[in-house]
A = this chain, B = another copy of it.
Amino acid sequence: MNLKRNFFYRKAAAINPQRIIMKKLLKNTSRKIGQSPGTLIYTGEKPPGIFKCNLIAYNKDQYVEKIVSEPEEILQYLKPDEKIWINVDGIQHPDKIGKLGELFKINPLTLEDILNTAHRPKTEDLGEYVFIVIKLLKYDENQLKVEHVSLVLGKNFVLSFQEDEKDEFEVIRENIRKNKGHIREFKTDYLTYRLLDWVIDNYFSVLESVGDKIEEIEDELLAKPARETLHKLYRLKADMILIRRAVWPLREAINNLEKIESELMKNGTSIYLRDLYDHIIQIIDTTENYREMIAGMMDIYLSSVSNRMNEVMKVLTIISTIFIPLTFIAGIYGMNFNTNASPYNMPELNWFYGYPFILVVMFIVGLSLLYLFKRKNWF
């Protein structure tokens, strides 16, 4: 029976991929029960690869780029007149993250949140640095992927942590190399803003994909709604839940970021943050609109299914209703009254044109009923 169970399991997963994601998160969190706070455990599902830091130290005039695999190597690139951005790909190495944390004096509870992939988006001002949790969304092989991204913004350093090994911030790095935009001249808070902006811009392309899917499903709904259409709708609904869970807390997070009265954020970035906030509001608007549209499409699916059912039943009933009176007429002339006993007993049976006449009568009755039903617009 294991096979069968497995089959249903996969079917369930197809309908509700979100469930599986949530289960994993919970399993990982509960693995930690009874541990002291600040114990570093990676709670995600990704297999550990090689630890890799992509380091870029820059100031207005120059930049150095380096890939290091031991946190200690970073030390030599920390210079007082340079800003440094360290991007960590893959957070499956608690020990190395721990060392990195010591280097930059990061609170163990912050490190815990960096590794806890179930953590919701937030911003926290911890005095020496500002800590930001955000979710990177992308469609990968038609499956919505949620990546846990953390940013630590210090006086002259920015740390970014990505759950995936695949580096998503190459575009920003290219900007630094070519000295495009203002990253190299502005302080670290501007770099942080650019990283956030990049993540949030990705939401737009995810929403565009969702829009494409909605369009596709809508076409199916109008052409020929099938069971499969409903499953697609369920899957899309689950995606929307994931998106909402990433976006709604982010709104509050960015709002908090604006309010932080830290030296780190007081360099004219507030206008950029307000811009980010506007984008998030727009994303939330669109998300809510899509949710309504998906709900509306479910209603249309259900009502179209029930309509079809009703139509079928009606046609079937009409067929029956036409033949039942005809059968009754046939039944009459199937009665065995003795025509010899009296001239009143079924004289039709002995008429010369009795049979054709009765057939014509039946035909007329049938047609009349059909005409009546048609005229009353019943089918």
Contacts and interface: CB of A to CB of B under 8 A. Distances in A.
A319 interface: yes
Contacts of A9: 215, 219
Q: How many copies does the complex hold?
A: 5
Given A310-B309, A321-B320, A355 B337 contact: yes
A211 B301 CA distance: 29
Contacts of A16: 218, 293
A62 interface: no
A328 to B, nearest CB: 4
A53 to B, nearest CB: 23
A371 interface: no
Contacts of A274: 124
A47 interface: no
A2 interface: no
B337 A327 contact: no
A11 interface: yes
Interface stretch (A20-28, A77-85, A91-99): A20-28
B12 A219 contact: yes
B334 A201 contact: no
A313 interface: yes
Interface string A313-336: 110111111011111101111111
Given A109-B271, A241-B289, A293-B19, A334 B330 contact: yes
A233 B9 CA distance: 18
Interface string A32-51: 11101100000000000000
Contacts of A3: none
A140 to B, nearest CB: 17
A378 B312 contact: yes
Contacts of A349: 335-338, 341, 345
A171 interface: yes
A274 B43 CA distance: 20
A182 B7 CA distance: 49
Contact of A344 (B26, B312, B326, B356): B356
21 contacts: A4-B223, A12-B218, A12-B219, A15-B218, A23-B215, A30-B201, A37-B181, A120-B282, A124-B274, A313-B314, A316-B321, A319-B321, A320-B321, A323-B325, A328-B330, A330-B334, A336-B349, A337-B349, A338-B350, A342-B354, A345-B352
Given A330-B332, A331-B331, 11 more contacts: A9-B215, A16-B218, A23-B212, A26-B208, A36-B180, A118-B282, A336-B336, A336-B346, A337-B349, A342-B351, A342-B352
Of all A-B residue pairs in the complex, the 7 with the closest CB atoms, nearest first, are A330-B331, A333-B335, A36-B181, A334-B334, A342-B352, A33-B201, A30-B204
